[in-house]
Structure 1
Amino acid sequence: MTNVIACIDGSQAAAPVSDYAAWSALRLDAPLTLLHVLDHSRYPVNTDFSGNLALDTREHLLNELSELDAKRNRLALQQGKLMLDAAQERAIADGIAAPRLRQRHGDLVDTLADLEDQTRLLVIGKQGEAHEGVGATVGDNVERVIRTLHRPILVAVGEFQTPKTIMLAFDGSDTCRKGVRMLAQSPLFRGLACHLVSVGERQGLEDAARLLDESGHEVHTAVLSGEVEPALHRYQQENAVDLVVMGAYGHSRIREFFVGSTTNKMIREARVPHLLLR
């Protein structure tokens, strides 16, 4: 569990993903791996065209279609390599001495699951290539990744800016209390001002604030009212918070921290990166 892994694709999110991953790797003193996965649903390794052709189709048509498919895959691999090269240059400019490049063919979520034991933090864009330009829609892969992985996931949003303030959405759950301890101990957050914010939940808030204060954080606490997602995002915007930290699952008023519900809404409306804890 050592690497910061950044998911690189052809979307506009690739640049901020690389930047946030580099920032995280430097603060954690962890190796950075830039990963590109060639989706097998779009670029299958082997394609069987025989069922789509009439019985009297000539053999050379099958061969030609297979060759075209192979060429398409080669071009996609080359394009992916160019993406990784660009991300590598960006990471080096950000201060990473030797970012590692990995390229795989398959399913993104399956690939990340295979690499889970090597992952300390995953950085992924809010939207991939397939969802760019579709309003605030969260990419399908992002939802699947959050459901599957049991590692912290940083969802990059917008252009990179060095985080100076963070907000922890506190709900009193075990995951959230674990997040408080992580905030107190992790070098990722060292020196950052922390807003400890709850929506209607007071139990455990003072103890959490005390722990963060003792670890050297400047701590601000707030108990909000209203609906969870708009209340938290309104606070984030009014207080110019750079990074939101929250549990992917919780209880009480945030009981529906399940992708497709509160977590999905938080990410969908996000204007700054969100770090999801499991």
Structure 2
Amino acid sequence: MTQVMACIDGSHSTRAVCDYAAWASQRLSAPLTLLHVLDEVQYPTQPDLSGAIGLGSREHLLEELASLDQKRHTLAMEQGRLMLEAARERVQTEGVEPAQLRQRHGDLVECLSELEADIRLLVIGRQGKTCDSFNQLLGSHLENVIRTLHRPILVSCGEFKAPQSYMLAYDGSATARKSLEMIAASPLLKDLPCHLVMIGADTSDAREQLKAAARVIEGSASEVHQVIRAGEVEPTLHAYQLEQGIDLLAMGAYGHSRIRQFLVGSTTSTLLRTSNSALLILR
């Protein structure tokens, strides 16, 4: 668990992913690896032409189709290599030591699972190349990556902005406390202002939970704001974030209360789709 790893695919998100990865690499004093995975569905190494209805015995046509698919695969791999080189040049301009380049052919989630032991932080864009618009739905692999990978994931949701403050959605659960401890122990967000935000009723128990949480993070954050807000989780968190001009939202991937309901299943998509800033998903 030693590297910052950034998923590069040539989409509009790639520039911001590079910039967030460079920022994280410097904050963590960790080497950076740029990863490109050529999708095996879109570019199979062994194309299946069994469905080529009507070609009959014209085997030369099948051979030609197979040859064209192989050339397409080869060109896509070369394009990916050039893309990785360009990404390395971009992060070097940010002062990052020459990044390691890795290229794989296969399924993104499976590749990341295989590389998980080497990943300290994964940086990935909200949309991939097949969903290349900041206004469109999530990339097809993102939710599966979040559910599968047991590593912190920094999701770029727009243009890069170096975080100057962060908000942690806190619900008092064991997962939330672990997320808090992870942040406190990491240099990634050290010396930035922290906003601890709990969604729910303003009770004495809730205030005590926030006070306990503040004690955990106060040695790492430059200042700690303790906030309790009533309302629906997603709009309330985003409203507070906008109100305070917060650059990054951090939260555990799973909790036990309404935040758990919010993060599991289709509501995960809602948060990621509606966010205007980067999200740090903690496991």
- Please, what TM-score do these two structures have when normalized by structure 2? 0.94
Deviation sequence 1:202-251 (CA, Å, 0-9, x none):
25211111222233531111101110000000101110101110111111
Q: Is the 8 A contact 1:146 1:259 kept in 2?
A: no
Q: What is the CA distance between 1:73 and its match in structure 2?
A: 0.3
Identity of aligned residues (%): 55
Deviation sequence 1:99-130 (CA, Å, 0-9, x none):
00000000000000000111110000001111
Q: What is residue 255 of structure 1 aligned with on the other side?
A: 260
Q: Is the 8 A contact 1:251 1:257 kept in 2?
A: no
Runs of 4+ aligned structure 1 residues displaced above 4 Å come to none
Partner SS, residue 36 of structure 1: strand
Q: Is the 8 A contact 1:13 1:158 kept in 2?
A: yes
Matches of residues 1-278 of structure 1 in structure 2 within 5 Å? 1-54=1-54, 56-133=56-133, 135-200=135-200, 202=206, 204-278=209-283
Q: Is the 8 A contact 1:8 1:17 kept in 2?
A: yes
| Distance in 1 between residues matched to 2:10 and 2:126, nearest whole Å | 13
Q: What is the CA distance between 1:260 and its match in structure 2?
A: 3.1
Q: What is the CA distance between 1:181 and its match in structure 2?
A: 1.2
Q: What is the CA distance between 1:48 and its match in structure 2?
A: 2.7
Which structure 2 segments of 5+ residues have no match?
Answer: none
| Distance in 2 between residues matched to 1:261 and 1:40, nearest whole Å | 26
Going from structure 1 to structure 2, the CA distance change for 1:168 and 1:134 (only over 3 Å counts) comes to closer
| Distance in 2 between residues matched to 1:116 and 1:99, nearest whole Å | 18
Which structure 1 segments of 5+ residues have no match?
Answer: none
Deviation sequence 1:2-39 (CA, Å, 0-9, x none):
11110000211000001101111111111100000000
RMSD of aligned residue pairs (Cα, Å)? 1.5
| Distance in 2 between residues matched to 1:232 and 1:74, nearest whole Å | 46
| Distance in 2 between residues matched to 1:134 and 1:239, nearest whole Å | 23
| Distance in 2 between residues matched to 1:32 and 1:134, nearest whole Å | 25
Q: What is the CA distance between 1:54 and its match in structure 2?
A: 3.5
| Distance in 2 between residues matched to 1:92 and 1:126, nearest whole Å | 23
- Please, what TM-score do these two structures have when normalized by structure 1? 0.96
Q: What is the CA distance between 1:78 and its match in structure 2?
A: 1.1
| Distance in 2 between residues matched to 1:255 and 1:240, nearest whole Å | 25
Number of residue pairs matched? 278
